Chain A
Amino acid sequence: MSRKISMKTAINEALDLEMRRDPTVILMGEDIVGGTGAPGEDDAWGGVLGVTKGLFAKHGDRLLDTPLSESAYIGAAIGAAACGMRPVAELMFMDFMGVCFDQIFNQAAKFRYMFGGKAETPVVIRGMVGAGFRAAAQHSQMLTPLFTHIPGLKVVCPSNAYDAKGLLIQSIRDNDPVIFCEHKNLYGHETEVPAESYAIPFGEANVLRDGDHVTIVSYGLTVHRAMEAADALARDKVEAEVIDLRTLSPIDWDTIIDSVERTGRLVVVDEAHPRCNLATDISAFVAQNAFGALKAGIQMVTPPHTPVPFSPSLEDLYIPSAEAVAAAVRRTMAPSPRSTLAA
């Protein structure tokens, strides 16, 4: 049975289904139950934006509210994972990674390799990413490149409710540490989602729109900007292929290369800061592996190299827009200097 639900509800459903299926799945985080020890209602919040609301009633003590102490509880989630549990730790805002990153990149990510293949750390760390929420510089970042840089971590960033459910279920079942990035501006976004359980394999991009003129690669919220741009471009008879990466590590290189070899043009849209991000990574990979197919220079659409500003007037400028994506596509469609010379 399929019905339209929001990404927030889809995530809640995935957690519920996996907790029912596997008793080793536990949830922990700040206020994921909410109101613990306080005089009012139990289960007051269900997470700061209500993503885990209602799970406490179903699973009780398997949801653990934590002190405001990311280093300790993220580390504890990792330690529990190394001892046979499948913890899903909510790091409210991924920006808080700064206070617990050691546990993630020096501990969880390295256990397996450093211990000669003898450890498994099936932990999921989920948290909000992205700008557009008027949350300013420390609650709005898209820090995905920090995670993709680290061998041993898997990085997921869904763009819709259907993917979020399937990818989160896969993340929980996965035996490696997974960073699950939830764009806060997509929580209310609704799509058709089956009620039953399903897993979406990692490393398989989703081609949202076929097109032969240009390949647009993106993930998370900017997938929607890319789709808007593609719709606009179609009115000008430019057919863009839009690829939603879904997982950033592993990444589906084959789908990207196949598409670029067909279209000859590439635009990468990334909400992360522009230096050493997914856009530069994908551009470099394509330049190295499909250079001959390229008919034009690769275009990258990213925010400027600044922190995320607060004032709505500035934040709206910061986030890559559909217009910026369309403009980038048009730049790839313009006659290149080389072809001008040849003419």
Chain B
Amino acid sequence: MTDNPYPLDKADLLQAYRTMRTIREFEERLHIDFAKGDIPGFVHLYAGEEACATGIMMHLNDNDRIASTHRGHGHCIAKGVDVHEMMAEIYGRSTGACRGKGGSMHIADLSKGMMGANGILGAGAPLICGAALAAKFRGDGGVGITFVGDGASNQGTFLESMNLAAVWNLPVVFVVENNGYAESTAMEWAVSCDSYIDRATGFGLPGVTVDGTDFFAVHEAAGEIIRRAREGGGPALLECNMVRFYGHFEGDAQTYRAKGEVESLRANRDCIKLLAQRLTETGIVAPAELETIDREVNALIEDAVRCAKAAPLPVAADLLKDVYVAY
């Protein structure tokens, strides 16, 4: 048996690869189906950023809550939300995670600790403070993770929440997924202090920057930060520098990006390629094992799309349902 140099056993390494592949395949499939006109509304794809969601979520259990963003499919999958229900939701079907009433931007599964993708940028930060407060009252050791992009880190909610989490000493981790673009606007232009770490420092939180395309870097840093929060060490900020393979939303011509930028990122900074390379190079995993996962993931996504397309649409009565618990 080959000696495993990594801090995860082989089953976990394969699970990490499977999660990342599932996210990628899910997003690549949406990219195609959206272009065909099969999908209503708009979708924001997480392709390229898989290592971040996966590296963080592997430290969490169902007691731990996350508040996601508009670009939330990856967070959902990594947190364990059912892929069939997600796909059905994006197709607007009654079998969807939100019974067809949320769509891509509002997929949630509270039973998995997934408090929702969110169409309002920065809105998840206060919510996760509440989730962490609840965990503190229950004493169940739960932590809350909120994700924001480089853009939403400018929102007052995000900054206020760092202060509140520090004042109340909440087990919250603020994850800045820095893909360099707030929609089309460059992070360098839009963030005055230029460093999220400086912002965290301003509120008395430690901040750590990692290469968000390196699964092991994210996994290791997130592990320490989450452990610190669980142990009562308080909130912290993790900045993951990552890359976005697609536009802000599907249909974005991305004329604001440099020529060849995406091609170069796909060639050199593809977190899945990097992970696969490390797993096979060290001999812990045979290429054939990864190929098997690829095939299984393809089949899963194919089946999810097939089921979603075959699933019933919500009916008229659903329009009025679930506005209130009771009214």
Q: Do chains A and B touch in the complex (CB under 8 A)?
A: yes
Q: Which residues of A contact B (CB under 8 A)?
A: 24, 26, 64, 66-67, 69, 71-85, 87, 102-103, 106-107, 111-120, 151-152, 154, 174-176, 203, 250
Known pairs A72-B161, A76-B129, A116-B97; list 6 more (Cβ under 8 Å). A79-B129, A82-B131, A84-B134, A103-B127, A114-B116, A118-B111
| Inter-subunit contact A83/B102 (CB<8 Å) | no
| Inter-subunit contact A78/B130 (CB<8 Å) | yes
Query: With a CB–CB cut-off of 8 A, which chain B residues contact A114?
Result: 98, 101-102, 106, 108, 116
Query: With a CB–CB cut-off of 8 A, which chain A residues contact B115?
Result: 79, 82-83
Identity of the chain A residue whose Cβ is nearest the Cβ of B168 in the assembled complex = A64
User: How many angstroms from the CA of A203 to the CA of B327 in the assembled complex?
Assistant: 8
Query: With a CB–CB cut-off of 8 A, which chain B residues contact A82?
Result: 110, 115, 127, 130-131
| Inter-subunit contact A72/B326 (CB<8 Å) | no
| Inter-subunit contact A119/B101 (CB<8 Å) | no
Interface CB pairs A-B, < 8 A, 15 = A64-B168, A67-B160, A69-B164, A71-B126, A72-B157, A76-B164, A83-B134, A107-B118, A111-B116, A114-B102, A114-B108, A115-B108, A116-B98, A152-B323, A175-B326
User: How many angstroms from the CA of A102 to the CA of B160 in the assembled complex?
Assistant: 14
Q: How far is the CB of B158 from chain A (nearest CB, A)?
A: 9
Choose among B67, B100, B109, B322 the residue that contacts A112 (Cβ–Cβ < 8 A): B322
Q: How far is the CB of B84 from chain A (nearest CB, A)?
A: 14
Q: Does B71 contact A (CB under 8 A)?
A: no
Q: How far is the CB of A62 from chain B (nearest CB, A)?
A: 8
Identity of the chain B residue whose Cβ is nearest the Cβ of A84 in the assembled complex = B134
| Inter-subunit contact A85/B164 (CB<8 Å) | no
**Given A78-B130, A152-B323: A72 and B163 interface contact (C-beta under 8 Å):** yes
| Inter-subunit contact A75/B129 (CB<8 Å) | yes
User: How many angstroms from the CA of A167 to the CA of B156 in the assembled complex?
Assistant: 33
Query: With a CB–CB cut-off of 8 A, which chain A residues contact B128?
Result: 79
| Inter-subunit contact B322/A116 (CB<8 Å) | yes
User: How many angstroms from the CA of A116 to the CA of B101 in the assembled complex?
Assistant: 6
| Inter-subunit contact B131/A79 (CB<8 Å) | yes
Query: With a CB–CB cut-off of 8 A, which chain A residues contact B131?
Result: 79-80, 82-83
Identity of the chain A residue whose Cβ is nearest the Cβ of B100 in the assembled complex = A116
| Inter-subunit contact A75/B134 (CB<8 Å) | no
| Inter-subunit contact B101/A85 (CB<8 Å) | no
Choose among B106, B135, B161 the residue that contacts A115 (Cβ–Cβ < 8 A): B106
User: How many angstroms from the CA of A112 to the CA of B321 in the assembled complex?
Assistant: 10
User: How many angstroms from the CA of A14 to the CA of B208 in the assembled complex?
Assistant: 45
**Given A83-B135, A116-B100, A176-B324: A72 and B126 interface contact (C-beta under 8 Å):** yes
| Inter-subunit contact B157/A116 (CB<8 Å) | no
Q: Does B316 contact A (CB under 8 A)?
A: no
| Inter-subunit contact A113/B101 (CB<8 Å) | yes
Choose among B106, B120, B167 the residue that contacts A102 (Cβ–Cβ < 8 A): B120
Q: How far is the CB of A39 from chain B (nearest CB, A)?
A: 18
Which residue among B65, B67, B120, B160 has the maximum number of chain A CB atoms within 10 Å of its CB?
Answer: B160
Query: With a CB–CB cut-off of 8 A, which chain B residues contact A64?
Result: 133, 168
Identity of the chain B residue whose Cβ is nearest the Cβ of A203 in the assembled complex = B327
Choose among A77, A87, A120 the residue that contacts B325 (Cβ–Cβ < 8 A): A120
Q: How far is the CB of B311 from chain A (nearest CB, A)?
A: 13
**Given A111-B116, A116-B96, A116-B322: A76 and B108 interface contact (C-beta under 8 Å):** no
| Inter-subunit contact B327/A71 (CB<8 Å) | no
| Inter-subunit contact A102/B123 (CB<8 Å) | yes
| Inter-subunit contact B65/A83 (CB<8 Å) | yes
Which residue among B108, B126, B157 has the maximum number of chain A CB atoms within 10 Å of its CB?
Answer: B126
Q: How far is the CB of A85 from chain B (nearest CB, A)?
A: 5
Query: With a CB–CB cut-off of 8 A, which chain A residues contact B321?
Result: 117
Q: Does B125 contact A (CB under 8 A)?
A: yes
Choose among B67, B99, B156 the residue that contacts A116 (Cβ–Cβ < 8 A): B99
**Given A83-B65, A114-B116, A118-B109: A103 and B123 interface contact (C-beta under 8 Å):** yes
User: How many angstroms from the CA of A2 to the CA of B65 in the assembled complex?
Assistant: 45
Q: How far is the CB of A242 from chain B (nearest CB, A)?
A: 25
Query: With a CB–CB cut-off of 8 A, which chain B residues contact A78?
Result: 126-127, 130
Q: How far is the CB of A155 from chain B (nearest CB, A)?
A: 12
| Inter-subunit contact B126/A76 (CB<8 Å) | yes
